[in-house]
Amino acid sequence: MSSLFFSSIRRPLSVALRRFTLCRFSSIVTYATEEEKSRFIHPSSVVHPNAILGEGVSIGPFCTVGPFAKLGSACQLYPGSHIFGNTELGDNCILMTMHILSSGAVIGDDLPGHTVVGRNNVFGHHAVIGIKCQDMKYKFGNECYLEIGDNNEIREHVSIHRSSTPSDKTVIGDNNLIMGSCHIAHDSKVGNNNILANSTLLAGHVVVEDYAHTAGGVVVHQFCRIGSYSFIGGGSVVSQDVPKYIIVSGERAELRGLNLEGLRRHGFSAMEIKSLRAAYRKIFMPTDTSSGNIEDRLSQVEHHEDLSLFPAVNSMVQSIRDSFAEKRRGICKFRSWSGP
């Protein structure tokens, strides 16, 4: 009897409450724009209301997006990805993760300065990008910068640090493949179309030009320069510059000849390669004991009637000469050949 009594009261009461709630809610609701409807934000993620999100942004579970972040259109944050500090992502960037229980990529840091990322970049799980450098000369509170171009694939466990001073910045260009567990330290400059294989470690202020290729486990000393179209063999320790077009390898890397396969793959003509080989022999494998020191040999190639006609030869000569300038580290060791 009592149960029937209470149920008869509960039914009209619940209807009244429902009507009141709907009326109350309709008075405060704000309707989403079409742009907002195109986004997806998982309810477990924390996205600051001041963050700027482009059209079609997708943010998976357990992500964090800070108040100064700006995400371009169609960016995707897989579970456990985080964006901190003054960080800007261009359109179509992806922050990956292995599965919902693992951590995704982390981009940016709550430091003065900024991290700016271009379009169409992919960051692997556990990649840590744009955080404070590991340099004792960094002073807390100083602005520091990282800029990344377009179309880069930056794989799992990669770390790329911001600059150490406000007057410099770490820069990654376009179309680079940076494989798993690589490290790019403060103030380094990586150009375009490079391949850094697994566990390549670049110390501070390293410059990698364009179309360079490292094999796995390479270590590059601070302030070194890696020339365009060069190749560094696996496990090498590079403590001096690598000139353009050249292969180096070894526990203390030494010159091993021209990167012939790399030159062919990148469209150098047979005549260009032939001229580069002739120039390499004159510079590093002289048969004439009166050929003088390396500067003399560079001058001979530079003024050679035939070799000087090829821009690639002149570029290689200039690359070598620049490495002997003041405050540069010279080039990797080479063995002069004295055979017949």
Active site residue ranges = 186-187, 204
Q: What gap in Å lies between CA 252 and CA 241, rounded to an integer?
A: 12
Coarse DSSP helix, strand, coil percentages of the chain, rounded to the nearest 5 percent: 20, 25, 55
Instruction: Give the containing element (helix H, strand E) for 323.
Output: helix 311-323
Distances in Å between the Cα of 69 and the Cα atoms of 44, 89, 263 are 18, 8, 41
- SS3 call for 335: coil
Q: Are 276 and 245 in contact (CB under 8 A)?
A: yes
Q: Which of 155, 130, 125, 126 has the alpha carbon at shortest distance from 145?
A: 130
Q: Which letter does DSSP use for residue 33 in this model?
A: P
- Crossing angle of the two packed helices 294-302 and 311-323, in degrees rounded to 10: 160
